[in-house]
Structure 1
Amino acid sequence: MWECAIDGCEYATDDVEDLLVHQAEAHGQHTCKVCGTTVPDGFFAIRHAFTEHSRAEYLRNYEADTDDIRHREKVAKEIQKQADIERVVDRIKSEPAEPQA
């Protein structure tokens, strides 16, 4: 079971790709505190932070510690193993947006 962890959201699903679409459409955009890039909230924000920036930059710009980083890296890795990210992006581009939470 995959659960959305954004702002106390209670959305849950057995399909990780449905979770990523939900996060992108229901929770809007996240502006990176390191570089100012805007990306969908949730997984895509985490992926951006860890592929575009160093751990040190993340620690300095987000109120996080090394345990936070390890947890987010573990979740992102598991999602990437189970989800077809390109298919998710195509779904996000083609589906009407859900109302924002």
Structure 2
Amino acid sequence: MPRWECAIDADGEVFERVEDLIVHQSIEHERIACKVCGAVLPDGYFAIRHAFDEHSRAEYVRAYDADASEVRRRENVKESIEESADIREVIDRLEGDESAP
């Protein structure tokens, strides 16, 4: 089973479960503003998901001065998380559902 490392600001904290990583990123790190539309959201997975679900690659590249390899890396992170994570659990935990693991 892969271990999941928080890469925000060189945090480096490691988690056994991806859901724990996403909750950590959402709670322990500052929210950021999307450079494309200004939406304020948690850094990490939710910011990546927003960027690629709500905006085109071209918008992302222009706003973040990113190159193709940076885009691919973030798309791969998003894909890896979505293949492994129970996003419903994450949302329940962030909303304070006491029955969530």
User: With structure 1 as the length reference, what TM-score do the two structures score?
Assistant: 0.90
Equivalent position of 2:22 in the other structure: 20
Q: Give the gaps of 5 or more residues in structure 2.
A: none
- Percent identity over paired residues: 54
Aligned to 2:72: 70
Equivalent residue pairs, number = 95
CA apart distance, 1:39: 1.0
Name the SS for the 1:39 alignment partner: strand
C-alpha separation in 1, matches of 2:79 and 2:12:
22
Per-residue deviation, 1:94: 1.0
Equivalent residue, structure 1, for 2:56: 54
Q: Determine the structure 2 residue equivalent to 1:5.
A: 7
Question: Structure 1 residue 28: deviation in Å?
Answer: 2.3
- Secondary structure class of the residue paired with 2:51: helix
Match of residue 43 from structure 1: 45
Note the alpha carbon deviations across 1:10-64, whole angstroms, 9 max, x for none. Answer: 2101100000000000002111000011111100000000000000000000031
Superposed CA RMSD in Å reads 1.1
For CA contacts below 8 A with separation 6 or more, give which structure has more relative contact order.
Answer: 1
| Displacement over 4 Å in runs of 4+ | none
- 1:93 Cα deviation from its structure 2 partner: 1.8
Q: Distance in 1 between matches of 2:38 and 2:5?
A: 27
